Amino acid sequence: MLFGNGAAPCRGSAIFRSGVRGRPLRMRVWSVLDRGEVYTTSVMASVHELNATYAIPGILAFDEPVEGFPRAVVTSPACTAELYLHGAHLAEWKPAHAADPALYLSPKTIFQQGKAIRGGVPVIFPWFGPRTPEVTGATTEGGQHGFARNTPWELSFAAVAGEDVHLVLTLGASEQTRALGFDQFRVSLEFRLGRELTIRMTVANEGEQPLVFEEALHTYLRVGDPEKVHIHGLGKTEFIDKVDGFQRKTQAEDVLTLHGETDRPYLNTAATVTVEDPELLRRIVVRKAGSQTTVVWNPWAELTAGLKDMPADGWKHFVCVESANASENRVSLAGRSAHILETHILVESL
């Protein structure tokens, strides 16, 4: 596991912030279902409360650039980053040695309760794509990619150890999730933000019966031109070509290049993926653990034209490489147990 035994490595001095008396600041949530989408209104911990409890002077602060969307802002010697409590959504990460941000965030993203933020790292759980009976039971209620990315999470821990900032957010069952058939679960996301990025997603089954789910860290990697990048690590791997009638195919070439809309869940792979970018003169390396699916996605021009939250040329600035467990790699988690998915991203110069 990329985080080792789960404890954050501490070199030199460390500063820790946790919720009052060890508990996270709580929020009240009300929600309804409308046309299959999850809409949430909430009263969350205020920015003042977040700063009073978790801020670390000169390194970690909280603001609210859009009403109802509190944000953690990291400014450390190692990186800058922005993380919204809505969806536990990492919107920006730029290591100090990089000339450009590592992630793409759409300048037209719609900040609205019940909608996902477009770009960065959306958190997909407990199903991937549209909900299907084969994956999560008899019902197909619920919107695209589950409810985790549309829901406010709770911040429960903040620390700086060496140059790295550590943040932990959690999500548990609510009236909203119970209405969709998900009752006895808890999810945590641990972010280690520094010159490298590590995200650890833990899903705990608090019930006695198996919990079946899909998951993904839908990472939008910023690139100079998706038609010029070279993607290594997926050669000779079977994938589902969702652009070509969901046909099962095997990638014959060792290096993947993109020439049109691409939507491919690669199955039964734990391989490291490297995106070489000759335009930005860098490579982005994506390592993972606890993941058997890697998704490569770019909507290209035609599909992007139908996305209200992305500019017409938005597709030219990213490629998604997602650490996931989806389709036949979905997780069936025994009662009273936990599953961990981790992704580790670093940026190197060419």
Q: For the residues of 117-137, what is the DSSP string, one character each?
A: -SBSBPEEBS-SSS--HHHH-
pLDDT score for 45: 85
End-to-end CA distance of the chain: 27
Average pLDDT over every residue of 19-23? 43
* Residues in a beta bridge with 349: 282
In whole angstroms, give the CA distance from residue 316 to residue 338: 38
Residue 169 lies in a domain: yes
pLDDT score for 60: 98
Residue 5 lies in a domain: no
Model pTM?
0.91
In whole angstroms, give the CA distance from residue 68 to residue 40: 11
Average pLDDT over every residue of 147-162? 96
Residue 41, pLDDT > 50, answer: no
Angle at 309 between CA 306 and CA 311, to 5 degrees: 75
pLDDT score for 138: 63
pLDDT score for 3: 46
Average pLDDT over every residue of 174-202? 96
Instruction: Assess whether the previous peptide bond of 126 is cis (omega < 30° from 0).
Output: yes
Residue 10, pLDDT > 50, answer: no
DSSP state of 190: E
Residue 8 lies in a domain: no
pLDDT score for 91: 98
Residue 115 lies in a domain: yes
Q: Catalytic: 227?
A: no
In whole angstroms, give the CA distance from residue 165 to residue 76: 8
For residue 199 the two structure tokens come to 């995200």
For residue 119 the two structure tokens come to 């770009």
Domain range for 344: 14-349
In whole angstroms, give the CA distance from residue 263 to residue 304: 13
- Residue among 86, 89, 218, 344 flagged as catalytic: 218
pLDDT tens column, 266-318: 999 999 999 999 999 999 999 999 999 999 999 999 999 999 999 999 999 99
Residue 277 lies in a domain: yes
Residue 6 lies in a domain: no
Q: Catalytic: 218?
A: yes
- Residue among 322, 339, 342, 344 flagged as catalytic: 322
CA distances 262 to 113, 119, 269, 292, 294, Å, are: 29, 16, 18, 19, 13
pLDDT tens column, 87-128: 999 999 999 999 999 999 999 999 999 999 999 999 999 999
Residue 336 lies in a domain: yes
Residue 4 lies in a domain: no
pLDDT score for 132: 82
pLDDT score for 19: 58
> How many domains would you assign to the chain?
1
Residue 32, pLDDT > 50, answer: no
CATH number of the structural domain spanning residue 273 = 2.70.98.10
